[in-house]
Structure 1
Amino acid sequence: MFEKLLVANRGEIAVRVMSACEELGIETVAVYSDADRNAGHVAYADEAYNIGPAPASESYLDGDAILEVADRAGADAIHPGYGFLAENADFARQVEETAGVTWVGPSSDAMEALGEKTEARTIMDEANVPIVPGTTDPVESVDEVRELGAEFGYPIAIKAEGGGGGRGMKIVRSEDEVEDALESARREGDAYFDNDSVYVEKYLENPKHVEVQILADHHGTVLHLGERDCSLQRRHQKVVEEAPSTALDGALRDEIGDAARRGVREAGYTNAGTVEFLVDDGAFYFMEVNTRIQVEHTVTEAVTGIDIVRQQLRIAADEELPFEQSDITIDGHAMEFRINAENPAAEFVPTPGRLATYDPPSGLGVRLDDAVSQGDEVSGDYDSMIAKLIVHAPTRDRCLERSRRALRHFDVAGVETTIPFHRLMLEDETFRAGEHTTKYLDQSVDEAALDDAVDRWGTAADDRAETSTESHGTTDLVVEVDGRRFDVAVAGGLPRTTAASSGAGGSDGSASGGRSGTSQQVAASDAITAEMQGTVISVPVEPGDEVARGDVVCVLEAMKMENDVVAPTAGTVAEVSVTDGDTVDMGDPLIVLE
């Protein structure tokens, strides 16, 4: 087994991996950006090292910096968690080629093969796994996409080859929409996955999203751990996951599990992974493989009793899986609720801020995966997830009631969260009956019901619970020496200083990115301003352009979500205040219309 493992991630998944390491007697190394100096995963680790500024591109996505830390710390293994570099085959190959360091995950070759969606479809087809009708090669032109639309029948989906989670996917319902959708899918594919290749497949209108967890070792054992239902989605982003799925009977459950095993065996895949399917009218179709641990692995752990991260580590250390397929049984029902810093009453806009109150529930059948505490800052630089609430019970009905109890006692203040949305879903008859599909939220949930849920159960942002680290004559500080983090207790407290005497360097929390100071500017009355903190992805207009009401004038990325900024009225673009890559704060001017 390994002696010291570096977790190339942040937040709750980093803590989750570290907890498994702790039980196995493996020391842990955290990496962190400037924005995460005081983050929970940093405090949990045995050692922690700074790897750069807040933008992920300059820190958590910097593979060279991470490998440099692994060398400095003497780590002999790297676990990528999910997101960031977790499905980056090039980074996995870098780790594989680094002497004395083991990659905790599938081989880079398997990641590369299954990460390219067209090649993955080919592999699955060869393994006799049903696939959605579509292309197995990238498409190149608008005309080619229109021909495919005529062949398959609209709607069709244009998907980024390296995409996932709905990013880089555009639904096209007529040939008139093809050109804009193709450009947008390519742009997102390039921005999120450094790959602008796209493919086309038939779009299923109202399917269930069912995924199968697999484990495969280096000794020929390939297992599935049952399925999860991830059909409750908003704009293709999962919000609640459960195991097992209400969409499968016994026979279909066996078929889909066997298909997942065949597919990953055909790909020569090892370690943990997830094979995702769409289920429609009693048939299932392969969608993609996630070559990493999943956010929702927790519900599978709850119903099988198997620690998936522990098995990841054992497999990477070349140990054999300690069980066979016949040993895998499903016990009860589990649900995972993603607790995100988002406002359901405002199109789920991200709501970064300070956790004035953070008091999660506990009790029988309740598990919480998080890396935050009361007083912590939820940064707008990364994903909006605060925590994952996992509830397990003997039956689905009891799981629903236990979840209702747990969410009622989940107390958060300082930021709006998705808790009111989850509580609303637990009163929703379609969800309670398990009859929801991937389109249910976007098509059927009343906006007024979301507004009412936030009014009843939401928490307006406030600035109470200002925290102080001073007590009993000591002050707790975080000190960096040559990029490595140390916790220091200073006896007798510290002298108070004013901003004027703090030096030219300023404070770490004052950095505002590419447009420092813009949050203090006064926007013109006819300016279109940012409704959230974020990064400018694109500005499709320039001075002199005529725009109509509802036209997209800017695209912002906030907490890993792409948000269109539209013109509130028709007019002429008089001024463009931002450019691609700029960081903006809420209220900053973006476009001025005349």
Structure 2
Amino acid sequence: IEFRINGEDPGRSFLPAPGRITEWVIPTGPGVRVDAGFRNGDTIGGNFDSLLAKLIVTGATREQAIERARRALAEFNVDGLATALTFHRAILEDPAFTEEFKVYTSYIENEFNNQIPAYQASAIPLQTHMAPEYLVTEVNGKRFEIVVHAPKPVVKRHRAKQSMAGGAGGAALVSPMQGTVVKIAVNEGDLVEVGDLVIVLEAMKMEQPLMAHKVGVISNLSAVIGATVSSGTALCDIIDA
């Protein structure tokens, strides 16, 4: 069984999720193989495919492979950006896949009950102390080694800023993800209906159309084709006509 570990957020309709890897722990054991090209500290940009790694699990039977996969996915930890790990774990608890095997090509879109919460970055501990220093000095021809001990560490917890849910808030149409503006389908002053295409973003080789969330007139259109925008950036307003 092969699992594609993509940089996408299953809790937000699999939106691309570029970011910096702050934790990277891969599983090992019988029948477990991981193919990856990243490590802790690497930055995953939005200009490339979202695939981070492949987890391949084998077993003498399908049941054994599933049990090994559950263990491997539980051991596989990535933080700093959203990944598909939570989705794979959920699938391995779905009887339609593990017992009845009633899945089909569009099963996820049509029947999968996605209760996966949106990704939130873990608290990052920041150390405020320095590590001990080891010094060598010479006094009156004699060599001495000196250890300078740091004060007791003080750990402060800083929670990473949570990205906005994206989409729309009031009059503003905001970006639900970090991406590049590749298309603007409206002009300042245009009248739009609910569901009309306004802007298209691209990240990790995937396009994300942004639709009008209300009837109104386009105002304060700040999006520029080719510009990179962060999650939560206001791209335009849709004001009452």
| TM-score in same-fold range (> 0.5) | yes
Identity of aligned residues (%): 40
Q: Match of 1:357?
A: 23
Following the alignment from structure 2 to structure 1, what is the Cα–Cα distance between the partners of residues 170 and 202? 24
Residue 580 of structure 1, CA deviation:
2.8
Q: Match of 1:374?
A: 40
Amino acid at match of 2:120: A
Amino acid at match of 1:362: T
Amino acid at match of 2:11: A
2:58 alignment partner, SS class: strand
Q: Structure 1 residues 472 and 381, CA, compared in 2 at 3 Å: closer, same or farther?
A: farther
Q: Residues 442-453 of structure 1: matches in 2 within 5 Å?
A: 442-447=109-114, 449-451=115-117
Following the alignment from structure 1 to structure 2, what is the Cα–Cα distance between the partners of residues 573 and 365? 56
Residue 526 of structure 1, CA deviation:
3.0
Amino acid at match of 2:109: D
**Candidates 203, 209, 213, aligned match of 1:568:** 213
**Candidates 2, 13, 25, aligned match of 1:347:** 13
Residue 392 of structure 1, CA deviation:
1.0
Residue 450 of structure 1, CA deviation:
2.8
Q: Match of 2:121?
A: 461
Residue 395 of structure 1, CA deviation:
1.5
1:576 alignment partner, SS class: coil
TM-score normalized by structure 2? 0.75
Q: Deviations over 1:303-331 (max 9, x none)?
A: xxxxxxxxxxxxxxxxxxxxxxxxxxxxx
Q: Deviations over 1:41-98 (max 9, x none)?
A: xxxxxxxxxxxxxxxxxxxxxxxxxxxxxxxxxxxxxxxxxxxxxxxxxxxxxxxxxx
Quick check: 1:370–1:386 contact (8 Å CA) kept in 2?
yes
Following the alignment from structure 1 to structure 2, what is the Cα–Cα distance between the partners of residues 547 and 566? 10
Q: Deviations over 1:193-249 (max 9, x none)?
A: xxxxxxxxxxxxxxxxxxxxxxxxxxxxxxxxxxxxxxxxxxxxxxxxxxxxxxxxx
Q: Match of 2:163?
A: none
Amino acid at match of 2:41: G
Residue 413 of structure 1, CA deviation:
1.9
Following the alignment from structure 1 to structure 2, what is the Cα–Cα distance between the partners of residues 464 and 372? 20
Following the alignment from structure 2 to structure 1, what is the Cα–Cα distance between the partners of residues 45 and 190? 35
**Candidates 375, 379, 387, aligned match of 2:53:** 387
Runs of 4+ in structure 1 over 3 Å off: none
Following the alignment from structure 1 to structure 2, what is the Cα–Cα distance between the partners of residues 472 and 393? 48
Following the alignment from structure 1 to structure 2, what is the Cα–Cα distance between the partners of residues 563 and 347? 11
Q: Residues 420-439 of structure 1: matches in 2 within 5 Å?
A: 420-432=86-98, 433-439=100-106
Following the alignment from structure 1 to structure 2, what is the Cα–Cα distance between the partners of residues 412 and 379? 16
Mean CA deviation greater in 370-379 or 416-425:
370-379
Residue 378 of structure 1, CA deviation:
2.0
Determine whether 1:593 maps to 2:225.
no
Residue 551 of structure 1, CA deviation:
2.1
Amino acid at match of 1:535: T
Residue 374 of structure 1, CA deviation:
1.6
Q: Residues 543-558 of structure 1: matches in 2 within 5 Å?
A: 543-558=188-203
Q: Structure 1 residues 430 and 440, CA, compared in 2 at 3 Å: closer, same or farther?
A: same
**Candidates 68, 71, 79, aligned match of 1:402:** 68
- State the number of aligned residues: 200
Q: Match of 1:582?
A: 227
Following the alignment from structure 2 to structure 1, what is the Cα–Cα distance between the partners of residues 170 and 84? 32
Q: Deviations over 1:541-584 (max 9, x none)?
A: 11222112222211111111111112222111123222332222
Residue 347 of structure 1, CA deviation:
0.8
Q: Match of 1:419?
A: 85
Point out where structure 1 has 5 or more consecutive residues left out of the alignment. 1-334, 474-523
Q: Match of 1:538?
A: 183
Where is the strand percentage greater, Structure 1 or Structure 2?
2
Following the alignment from structure 1 to structure 2, what is the Cα–Cα distance between the partners of residues 393 and 368? 15
C-alpha RMSD of matched pairs (Å): 2.4
Residue 435 of structure 1, CA deviation:
2.7
Following the alignment from structure 2 to structure 1, what is the Cα–Cα distance between the partners of residues 125 and 34? 23
Quick check: 1:556–1:563 contact (8 Å CA) kept in 2?
yes
Amino acid at match of 2:63: D
1:592 alignment partner, SS class: strand
Larger relative contact order (CA 8 Å, sep ≥ 6): 2
TM-score normalized by structure 1? 0.32
Quick check: 1:414–1:463 contact (8 Å CA) kept in 2?
no
Amino acid at match of 2:77: D
Q: Residues 1-150 of structure 1: matches in 2 within 5 Å?
A: none
Quick check: 1:537–1:555 contact (8 Å CA) kept in 2?
yes
Residue 534 of structure 1, CA deviation:
0.9
Following the alignment from structure 1 to structure 2, what is the Cα–Cα distance between the partners of residues 374 and 577? 36
Residue 400 of structure 1, CA deviation:
1.0
Following the alignment from structure 2 to structure 1, what is the Cα–Cα distance between the partners of residues 125 and 19? 13
Q: Residues 298-377 of structure 1: matches in 2 within 5 Å?
A: 335-377=1-43
Following the alignment from structure 1 to structure 2, what is the Cα–Cα distance between the partners of residues 462 and 345? 16
Amino acid at match of 1:532: M
Where is the helix percentage greater, Structure 1 or Structure 2?
1
2:108 alignment partner, SS class: helix
1:361 alignment partner, SS class: coil
1:450 alignment partner, SS class: coil
Residue 401 of structure 1, CA deviation:
1.1
